[in-house]
Structures are given as C-alpha cells and as structure tokens.
Copies of this chain bind each other. A is one copy, B any other.
C-alpha cells in the first residue's frame, strides 16, 4: 500500500502531470482530479470493505439464490445500508426457481474401489435415490463428446477432462465454462446415464467447483439432461490415471438435488441522493447471492464490500452528497443465471437514459490493474483522464471494450455506459464456486486498493459536468 501512497503524495504535490481538458468531452478539472485522489488516499487507510465482507460472510454465510439464506442476506443488506447512512434503502423482490443440492457422491465401483470428490452442477437433475452405475467414458473436451453419434453412449457415465487455462484476465474461464453449460445436455443426446466434468477451476486442491448449467429460468421439469457433477482436479487426474491401467471402470454417481419452480429472490438498493441532478445515477454494486458451498467471500462478498465502502467513503467526505446520485445495487440470483440483473433492467427500463455509468465488482478481491470503458467514441478522453487519476494505484489505461460485470450486462445491452475496474484474477478460479471461498482468502490491503479506485471513479462520474454518452443520443 505504501508505494501507492507515495505516488499519491507526488500527485498531490503536483509532481505528476494531470491532463486538464481534451479536444473531446469537457474533461476532468485539476481540482476534481485532486479531490478524487484524496478520496483514494483516504480509502487506503480504511477497513470498511473488509468489515462489510466479514459481516456478510460471518452473519449470513452461504446464500443460494432463492433460498432462506438469500432472504437473510437481503435483511442483512438492508440493515447494513441503513446503518451506514444510505438513503432510499429497499428491496426489489422478484421470482426465481429454487434448485437445492442434496446428497452428492461418486465412487469407482471397480476395479479400484474408492470415493471421488464431486459436487452437483447447478440445475442438475437427480439420479435415482441409490445412484446410477455405468462405465466411464473419457473425452478430452466437450467438443469430442458432441461429435459422438446420437444414442452411442447408452448407460455410460461421460467424463469430460477438459483443462482450464489460468489467466490474469479470466479469459480462460470464458472458454472452460462451455463444458459446464453443455455436458449434461450433450450427454443426454448420446444416451448417457450421467456425467462428470473436470471442475471449471485452476487449483489442484481437492475441491469440486460447482456452477450453473443452463440458466435456471430455462430449466424446466422436462428431462433433457443427465445428472451431472464436477470432479475436483485431483479426482479427474485420478480417473485419467485409472483409465491408463484399464479400459473398463465402473462408476456409481448419486445426486439428489431438488427443484422448486418458484421462490422469492430480490435486489437490494441504497443511495446517496444527488444534490444537483438527483435523477442522474451512477450504478455500482456486486451480487448478493453466492453458491451454497463456500461463504461467498470472493464471489461476491468482496464486490459488495468494495462498492459499499467506496460509496460510504464519499458520504463521509461529502455528507450532503455529490451532484449526481450514487446508487448501490446488490443483485440477487446472479449465480443461477443473472436473474436479478434482468429483473433490475426491466423494472428500471424508464430510468435507463439517466444512468450515467454502471460498474460491477465481481471478480474477487485481487488488485485492480486496468481501467476499461464502454463510452461513446467522442467521450474517449474520459478513459484516458480517469486512468490518469487511477494510475498512482497501479492501474493502467485499458481500452473501450470493457466487458461488463455480469449484472451490468443487461444495462450495457440497453446502451448504458459502463466501466470495468479490472481485477487480477490469477488466483480467482482456485477458489471460485468451492467450499474454499472463505474470508481468509481476502487480502485487506488489496481490497482497500479496490475501494480507492472505485471511490475515485465514482466521485468523478458524479461530479463532472459531462457524461459518457454521445451528444444527442440515448444510446452509444
């Protein structure tokens, strides 16, 4: 943290050049930049984000979409936002189907009897109570499975051993997640009795990574899939080694999840109302739900903590608020298919033109290293100018192709400008969707760097005269 403070001091002492006005948008004034950087410096001294994540993960813990626990998380969120002094704190409920995990076991029956570490994928159908037994058939990718003739795997247990690439920017996930989404349905077409996938994850620790197959709202009672679970990486390796020794491995898979077609979820909102243009809104937030295995610390307690702390810091420094409204949105039911994001975009369709910019923090608790935008071309000076303000935090200017946080995708699709404060995700998929997603995995200093960046960015977005859209246009 110290080097950042040094750089910040240099900035404040005027030793580092900050561009004033560009030929494009009206630009960020020196005084605004200074204020933003003072907020950053203050953020690095604070611990609020960590306290918020600690409170959520301890007092609520895991909070599956549509569950009683997610309901408790909403109550927690309302109380916490009120306690921290936010305005217009409320829930916005919506319906969601509820999928709940049951027993989940897999074992090699023969020739090398032993238990395997597995977890059902979200939305998986159940096996019969006693499980299914079938011969293991390995494929090195889900594409290889797709290429099999229809009905050619009658009664088999499919095993997709596709390996995920570790990357800083999460691009390995985009590729790897295909097998999680498709295997159950492809295996069904081939006639299989069940399926196992190597976890979508990068760790060699013996945790299976869960995650949603089809979006939960697409999953119906109609059976067009087979019971499907993720194997931990060591277990996937184990099966591959076993198959090097024998062609015939019998597997028993037992999964007893249950599916309820309707339950209640919701988004939670809190604001700092704007003093001059209260109808103009900066949206920041994370998602409140988590998978049921861990306590949802990095996914996405961290995002909740970072954005709440950034807004709270602004409130501390500007008790009357900034020009525009800062709105925290804690989306519900993100993990099962962005259900809260869609509900939010639908419910606020009339208001979208007034959304100045939206940013979600949902990629763990690692340091932010790049600032990307999705602004109108004629407003690209702000990409550079905001990046200049963030540079002392170790953040580089990115490009104008920001891929949104998942929940702001629905806003981006309707033309809302977005930014991505991109975190280092090198280790994110070691923990993602596992029981090991717990508070101890968060580095408080890295979390504070996130708060510093969000506070500065949100301050600028709320105070500039300009916005990030094309002139005379609702849509970029």
Contact = CB atoms under 8 A, between A and B. Distances in A.
Interface in A50-72: 54, 57-62, 68-69, 72
Interface in A72-112: 72, 108, 112
A91 B400 CA distance: 70
A436 B436 CA distance: 12
A328 interface: no
Contacts of A61: 108, 112-115, 238
A155 interface: no
A236 to B, nearest CB: 10
A108 B59 CA distance: 10
Given A114-B69, A435-B117, A440 B234 contact: yes
Interface residues of A, number: 36
Contacts of A220: none
Interface in A280-330: 294-295
How many copies of the polypeptide does the oligomer hold?
2
Given A61-B115, A237-B439, 14 more contacts: A54-B241, A58-B238, A58-B242, A62-B115, A69-B113, A204-B441, A205-B207, A205-B436, A206-B436, A206-B438, A233-B440, A234-B436, A237-B438, A241-B439
Given A58-B242, A242-B58, A294-B206, A440 B237 contact: yes
A2 interface: no
B438 A234 contact: yes
A204 B58 contact: no
Of listed A117, A204, A234, residue having the most chain B CB within 10 A: A234
26 contacts: A54-B241, A58-B238, A58-B242, A59-B112, A59-B245, A60-B114, A61-B108, A61-B112, A61-B113, A61-B114, A61-B238, A68-B113, A69-B113, A69-B114, A204-B440, A205-B207, A206-B207, A206-B294, A206-B434, A206-B438, A234-B438, A237-B438, A237-B439, A238-B295, A238-B439, A241-B439
